[in-house]
Amino acid sequence: MVDKNKPQEKRGGWLSRFAPGVRKIVSRRDTPDNLWVKDPDSGEMLYRSDLEAALWVTPSGRHMRIDAPTRLKATFDGGVFQAIDTPDVPEDPLKFSDGKSYKDRLSAARKASGRKDTMAIGYGVVGGQDAVVIVQDFTFMGGSLGMAAGEAFIKAAREAVSRKVPMICFTAP
């Protein structure tokens, strides 16, 4: 029979006294949130560095989206290229809004990506041949084509013509 006047020992005995120390040791470690990537086709978890080494092609054969800097580095021989600045243009001459102003969306995308716009241009050697490469980056506002993207495309084309080299264009999927 249990004496109600006597203090009861905590349930679990020695294990409950031992568990807090174990919890400290076994607690979640500071691991990067992006260490693993899920293959959208097979559901398999892929180690990010293995996926990067495979140029973002999964074992199931899917070509994953990559950002502009990664695409440029993968395209140019040895990953070496000269970045070409995109032209500055008016941010929102039409004063476009769809619940949120275009200017606000643009500002948020710039802050999140650290990039000026969806297009990136580079000059270097591709397969032993000098070339100008322009990449549309889906991670920047879904690859939205605004005035800046058009001006960047024109600049890349002019750059290729003036250097007498081919221009390669990668569009966002």
Half-sphere exposure of 128 (CA within 13 A, CB side): 0
Give span(s): CATH 3.90.226.10, the chain: 65-173
- In angstroms, the CA 134 to CA 102 distance is 23
Superfamily of domain 65-173 in the CATH hierarchy: 2-enoyl-CoA Hydratase; Chain A, domain 1 (3.90.226.10)
Question: What pLDDT is stored for residue 88 in this prediction?
Answer: 80
How sure is the predictor about 118, in pLDDT bands with cuts at 50, 70 and 90?
confident
Average pLDDT rounded to a whole number, residues 111-129: 88
Considering the chain, what percentage of its residues have pLDDT values greater than 70? 73
User: Which DSSP category does 124 fall into?
Assistant: E
How sure is the predictor about 16, in pLDDT bands with cuts at 50, 70 and 90?
low
How sure is the predictor about 29, in pLDDT bands with cuts at 50, 70 and 90?
low
Average pLDDT rounded to a whole number, residues 35-55: 91
Residue 12: phi, psi to the nearest 5? 100, -10
Residues 6+ apart with CB under 8 A from 123: 81, 82, 84, 130, 131, 132, 133, 159, 163, 165
Indicate the pTM of the whole model.
Answer: 0.69
Question: What pLDDT is stored for residue 2 in this prediction?
Answer: 58
- In angstroms, the CA 167 to CA 161 distance is 8
Q: Is 96 helix (H, G, I), strand (E, B) or coil?
A: coil
Whether the pLDDT of residue 104 is over 80: the answer is: no
pLDDT in tens, 138-158: 877 765 777 788 899 999 999
Question: What pLDDT is stored for residue 157 in this prediction?
Answer: 98
Please state the separation of Cα 116 from the chain's center in Å.
15
Q: Whose structure tokens read 């264009």?
A: 169
Question: What pLDDT is stored for residue 137 in this prediction?
Answer: 83
Average pLDDT rounded to a whole number, residues 37-43: 90
Tell me how crowded residue 121 is: count the other CB atoms within 10 A of its CB: 25
Exposure string of 71-109, with b = 16+ CB inside 10 Å and e = fewer, is bbeebbeeeebeebebeeeeeeeeeeeeeeebeebbeeb
Lowest mean pLDDT among 54-63, 96-105, 144-153, 154-163: 96-105
- In angstroms, the CA 61 to CA 38 distance is 13
How far from each other are the two terminal CA atoms of the chain, in whole angstroms? 73
Average pLDDT rounded to a whole number, residues 147-171: 94
Q: Is 57 helix (H, G, I), strand (E, B) or coil?
A: strand
